[in-house]
Amino acid sequence: MEMHLHTIAGHHGERLYTAWYPPTGELRGCIVWVHGYAEHSGRYQEVVKYLLERGWGNLLWDLRGHGRSTGRRGFITDIEEYLYDLTAVWTYWRKELNKKVILFGHSLGGLLVLRYRQKYSEIWTPTATIISAPLLQLRMEVPFWKRALAQVAARLFPTLSLPSGIEPQQLTHDEGEALAYAQDTLVFRTATAGWFAAVQRAQTEVWQDLPLLAQGKYLFLLPQQDPICDSEAAQRFFRHLPASEKKLILYPESFHEPLHETFRKKVFQDIAAYLDEL
């Protein structure tokens, strides 16, 4: 795969790792990816290759504090930092993205993409938005003591790190994919109090601003056996989504990461079929 790498400036001088993958033939359109918490853009290579073969370019980047980007691991004071960075990535690469642009967010990325559409549509409006297992509400149990400690620490010591509690076996039924995640040196397993508080605020705000999502096309890919993010909450959000052009695909047997599941080729096909309709 042809790849063009650039490190660009993000919010408050953080350096963001970005990678543009153009198809070998005619460019049909491009996908801007926003990955999930504690992972990185390099974990999307298989689906990227699949879509490249079908004429879709792919722009990937690592969130601040993730992967090859700079920043304290798993720390922000507000998700505006992520949204600012997404604008910086878009601004730098927009000359390459001269066809249909699809904004794709998984997990934390799904929450970020929805907030971005709510707040910054005047900067750019994608042709369509694809959301996978969005972090609208946690399903995994967070002990009361950890929640209480995080609330206090978010005010007094926001960089305090605690174990995230995410286990590889919660992501996929594919043992090889789970092992790859466990051995990935760019994956981390902590969360800071500041990050946790910022995400909780964003989860409240994304519901409050739901009427702002009346325009555009949306595809939701929801795993129904997700032990990390609440699939029922995501389905409820989809039902209340005011956009008229929306589509929901449920994966009854999937854990948190449909793109890494044993049946992921079916998920890839679903994405490609949706893109063909745009």
Q: What is the pLDDT of residues 33-86, one digit of tens each?
A: 999 999 999 999 999 999 999 999 999 999 999 999 999 999 999 999 999 999
Residue 152 included in any domain: yes
The percentage of the chain sitting over the pLDDT mark of 70, rounded to a whole number, equals 94
Predicted confidence at residue 135, as pLDDT, reads: 98
**Average pLDDT in the chain:** 94
Range of the domain at 57: 4-272
Query: For the chain, how are helix, strand and coil distributed in percent, rounded to 5?
Result: 40, 20, 40
- pLDDT band, residue 26 (cuts 50/70/90): very high
Residue 277 included in any domain: no
Cα–Cα distance between 130 and 47 in angstroms, integer? 14
Average pLDDT over residues 161-168: 89
Integer angstrom CA distances of residue 30 from 11, 58, 59, 110, 248: 24, 5, 7, 18, 21
Residue 278 included in any domain: no
Vertex 118 angle, CA 116 and 121, to 5°: 75
Residue 54 included in any domain: yes
- How many secondary structure helices (H) and strands (E) does the chain include? 8, 10
pTM for the model stands at 0.95
Q: Residue 266 corresponds to which tokens in the numbers above?
A: 């079916």
Can you give the CATH number for the domain in which 200 is found? 3.40.50.1820
Looking at the structure of the chain, the number of domains it has is: 1
Residue 97 included in any domain: yes
Average pLDDT over residues 20-33: 95
Q: Residue 44 corresponds to which tokens in the numbers above?
A: 């999307």
